[in-house]
Chains A and B, each alone.
Chain A
Amino acid sequence: MKEISCKLLVIGAGPGGYACAIRAGQLGIDTVIVEAAKPGGTCLTIGCIPSKALIHAAEVFDATRQMAGGRNAMGIRVDQPSIDLAGTMAWKDGIVGRLTSGVSGLLQKARVKIVSGRARFRDGKTVEVETETGQQIVRAETVVIATGSDPVELAALPFGGRVISSTEALSLRQMPKRLIVVGGGYIGLELGTAFAKLGSEVTVVEATAQVLPIYDADLIKPVTRRLTEQGIKVFTNTKAIGLSEKGDALVVEGPDGQQELPADQILAAVGRRPRSIGSGLEDLDLDRSGPYLRIDDRCRTSMRGIYAIGDVTGEPMLAHRAIAQGEMVAEIVAGKKRAWDKRCIPSICFTDPEIVSAGLSPSEARAQGYDVKVGQFPFTANGRAMTMQDEDGFVRVVARADTNLVLGLQAVGSGVSELSAAFSMAIEMGTRLEDIAGTIHVHPTRSEALQEAALKAMGHALHI
């Protein structure tokens, strides 16, 4: 049995874990990172990156199909296109491969030792790793738990056969003719839309009254409209009961009673649950917050010298939150004074069109007692949106009525995900409406809508 000691041990090489290890390495901390699969975690290997690749391929294919249908005004004519899904997947795998080897390279450059295998806690400061070459013991002064999360499995729809999780959906070799997506959250809608564009007949089954329940009605409206245009059927207030007897259909119960929906594949995307048990974690008796590990503003768990970051610590389960936490923890371990003081964790939903949100929505701000000004500027009045044949959506700013301090920024529309940088920057910097309005935004871009929204909140938008 081999034994190594280090100052910092990071368990899990997802975005949070690898960012923590790289930063620790930069700071000269003797660091070991343990990963059971490929470096990069859910995000790089079976989440954000592959799904965005698939979404992009689907959009390109769909655009081409639209042109072939003779339905475009731009004068482009193409013959009937076709898609080789295996080829698409190979291209996607290539991107994933480049990124995971990139992460390995970055870890090595930062002099982080990578141990491949599944870690198991022996005690708070010691883990055993089952590696290909036998058992490896790692002792560390400080441990960071970055074990991530798994897709939630529905008791009525266990994974296997036709029932798949997002992981399998991102590696399908054959196009499902009829795909049912259980769960109208962002994962379900992103993948459902992509498969619809690739040619599947898609049905979304959502248990609550609306899809994307975390966003307000204004932001969702362009998305639901587009779902309908794409022929995606959406059943709200509808529960998945289980597979039919033959196993080739999903039984659902909605306001109109039970019915069977025939399906070739059923994608269960009803959320993710933290990997906070297993690996001997339960023996450590760390304080919990629901299913998550409880952390304080420095990502410390209830046990001295053990930190936790990323999905295992709770919502929002987003890679960029984990990265920021990981970087912070590395600096704390290096003796710097750090604490979580971010003003917002922006989020994006890569649906069609995209939704981006940073800070407070108008109703959230009002619920917190703020008297607010809201400015909303539609892309129908934006030149760039017209030239891109996609005028759906708007940019919205929420500000304090007394000081014009920007509390929140949201947008829905094609390509608005890239506006998220401006949104979160505005909030972190503590800008006021006048700051955004007084900044030149390039013409012609969609970002002009941000400046106009700020002007509109102050009552003098120029282009509406």
Chain B
Amino acid sequence: MGEFTIKMPDVGEGVAEAELVEWLVKVGDPVREDMTVAAVMTDKATVEIPTPVSGTVIWLGGEIGDTIAVRAPLIRIETEGDGNDVAAPQPVTEPAKTEEQKPEHAAPIRTPEKPATPVASTTAAPSPRPSPEMDKPLASPSVRLLARDSGIDLRQIRGTGPAGRILREDVEHFLAHGKEAPPAQQGLAKRTSKEEIKLTGLRRRIAEKMTLSASRIPHITYVEEVDVTALEELRATMNGARKADQPKLTLLPFLMRTMVKAVSEQPDLNATFDDDAGVLTRSGAVHVGIATQTPSGLTVPVVRHAEARSIWDCAAEMNRLAEAARSGTATRDELTGSTITISSLGALGGIVSTPVINHPEVAIVGVNKIATRPVWDGAQFVPRKMMNLSSSFDHRIIDGFDAATFVQRLRTLLETPALIFIEG
């Protein structure tokens, strides 16, 4: 018998630690080679950790939500043969085995969606949590039996009894009315319940990232309205004439190409700012981050080298990435490395937003809803398709004048879309 230690793999360049978001095994469980044992999350992506050996889990290196350093022991497995812990207990003296653990070499990275895990409220006890044993739905044996016979999972039901106890009536109500109906309650009643939810996984990453961006970057936000009537006509024409293998164009690929053109004239905007070192890195490549809502929260997949892509290519790549992000299959590389970001809440309406810069970038362009509005053309009011751009800039790098210049340039290009496609 030997012991095999799986260490936190090196999940990406420069990543020193990763958050444990899921254990798929517990102590005492038998595991077979290649079985996924845990999921960890770095800045952006969730990485599943497989075991290269078969055996029995004898030790877990942390609880869900813990941050674990790269190469720290993650899980120990008792194996039939010799383990990797026989002679070398120090974590760093196992380069060969750890190397195999790199997901790049070992197994394709899958990034399943991991929503923030709600945790039952326990006052003043942040790290230890109630065991699953006691977190079972509160219900008497007869109610549990009724639920089981009816094929109902009691966790779906909200108990109306004392301390949230699920009553027979609650189950009967659920059977009759399903989940949507609110629990039968007469009139208005005070609610005193509180639910504490510990942030884990992506939600925690988002919280940290937003705190970083909002606390370190002095934002300046500039809003301008853009007449997109011509652009919309062009878009409709292009979509009408597109080939079968071409994606349907939305406004975003046009905006991407517009930004490529505008930042070539103002290279400070397509850059990252290392404020600790006081170094601004202008990027030749335009890697456009697209803020994307996924079931587990906000992620920013990156269209790489937008400067080298046609409008059709931008559209296809954006569609592919958005789909990958939503289904949780985007790789870490596809979720990092942007140099400027687009945030689009247009579909939900709204006339102005105050986008938060995607640290360490210096600019973000927010798209608001297109609406047909009356515009004075000098002689009369005419209906025009108008869209607001709400953009934020790092005011340490970008002066108000430069911000305004950039947005006005975007406006000019978008209002006369032929300019977007003119070389030079």
Contacts and interface: CB of A to CB of B under 8 A. Distances in A.
B141 A371 contact: no
B30 interface: yes
Nearest to A399: B163
Interface of A is mostly: loop
A343 B136 contact: yes
A435 to B, nearest CB: 8
A337 interface: yes
A432 B163 contact: yes
A435 B134 CA distance: 19
A341 interface: yes
A228 interface: no
A341 B136 contact: yes
Nearest to B149: A337
A368 B128 contact: yes
Nearest to B161: A430
Interface in A373-412: 400-405, 407
Contacts of A402: 121-123
A430 B138 contact: yes
B148 A371 contact: no
B79 to A, nearest CB: 15
B124 interface: yes
Contacts of B138: 405, 430
Contact of A369 (B125, B163, B164): B125
- Among A343, A434, A435: residue with most chain B CB under 10 A: A343
Nearest to B142: A429
Contacts of A435: 162
Contacts of B123: 371, 401-402
B165 to A, nearest CB: 5
A262 to B, nearest CB: 41
Nearest to A364: B131
A370 interface: yes
Nearest to A367: B128
Nearest to A403: B163
Contacts of A290: 28
B122 A371 contact: yes
B163 A404 contact: yes
B168 to A, nearest CB: 12
Given A294-B30, A341-B144, A370 B162 contact: no
Nearest to A430: B138
A285 interface: no
Contacts of A367: 128
A371 B129 CA distance: 10
Nearest to A341: B144
Contacts of B130: 368-370
Nearest to A294: B30
Contacts of A343: 134, 136
B128 A405 contact: no
Contact of A407 (B127, B129, B134, B165): B134
B182 interface: no
Contacts of B149: 336-337
B151 interface: yes
Interface in B110-150: 121-125, 127-131, 134, 136, 138-141, 144, 148-149
Contacts of B122: 369-371, 402
A297 to B, nearest CB: 11
Contacts of B164: 403
A216 interface: no
Nearest to B140: A429
A360 B148 CA distance: 26
A405 B138 CA distance: 10
B148 A370 contact: no
A277 interface: no
B277 to A, nearest CB: 42
A368 B129 contact: yes
A337 B131 contact: no
Interface in B81-125: 121-125
- Among B121, B148, B163: residue with most chain A CB under 10 A: B163
Interface string A424-436: 0000111010110
- Among A337, A367, A404: residue with most chain B CB under 10 A: A337
A371 B125 contact: yes
Contacts of B141: 428-429
A78 to B, nearest CB: 47
Nearest to A406: B163
A365 to B, nearest CB: 8
A56 interface: no
A289 interface: yes
A434 B127 CA distance: 29
B134 A289 contact: no
B94 to A, nearest CB: 28
Interface in B26-84: 28, 30
Contact of B124 (A339, A371, A400, A404): A371
B124 A368 contact: no
Nearest to B131: A368
Given A294-B30, A343-B136, A403-B163, A338 B128 contact: no
A336 B150 CA distance: 10
Nearest to B30: A287
Nearest to A287: B30
Given A337-B148, A401-B123, A434 B162 contact: yes
A430 B140 contact: yes
B165 A430 contact: yes
B28 to A, nearest CB: 6
Contact of A370 (B125, B127, B136, B151): B125
Given A337-B148, A401-B123, A430 B128 contact: no
A51 to B, nearest CB: 29
A430 B160 CA distance: 13
Nearest to B129: A369
A430 B162 CA distance: 9
A324 to B, nearest CB: 11
Given A360-B134, A430-B138, A430-B140, A339 B148 contact: yes
A435 B161 CA distance: 12
Interface in A227-257: none
Contacts of A360: 134
Nearest to A336: B149
B89 to A, nearest CB: 24
A252 B207 CA distance: 61
Interface string B152-188: 0000000001111100000000000000000000000
A360 B131 CA distance: 11
A336 B125 CA distance: 40
A368 B125 CA distance: 9
A294 B30 CA distance: 10
B163 A338 contact: no
A247 to B, nearest CB: 36
Contact of B163 (A294, A336, A430): A430
- Among A289, A336, A341: residue with most chain B CB under 10 A: A341
Contacts of A337: 148-149, 151
A294 to B, nearest CB: 7
Contacts of A432: 162-163
A289 B28 contact: yes
Given A343-B136, A360-B134, 16 more contacts: A289-B28, A290-B28, A336-B149, A337-B149, A337-B151, A368-B128, A369-B128, A370-B122, A401-B123, A403-B162, A404-B163, A405-B163, A429-B140, A429-B141, A430-B139, A432-B163
Nearest 6 interchain pairs by C-beta: A369-B128, A403-B163, A430-B138, A369-B125, A405-B163, A369-B129
14 contacts: A287-B30, A336-B149, A368-B134, A369-B122, A371-B122, A400-B163, A405-B163, A407-B134, A428-B140, A429-B140, A430-B138, A430-B139, A430-B163, A430-B165
Interface of B: 28, 30, 121-125, 127-131, 134, 136, 138-141, 144, 148-149, 151, 161-165
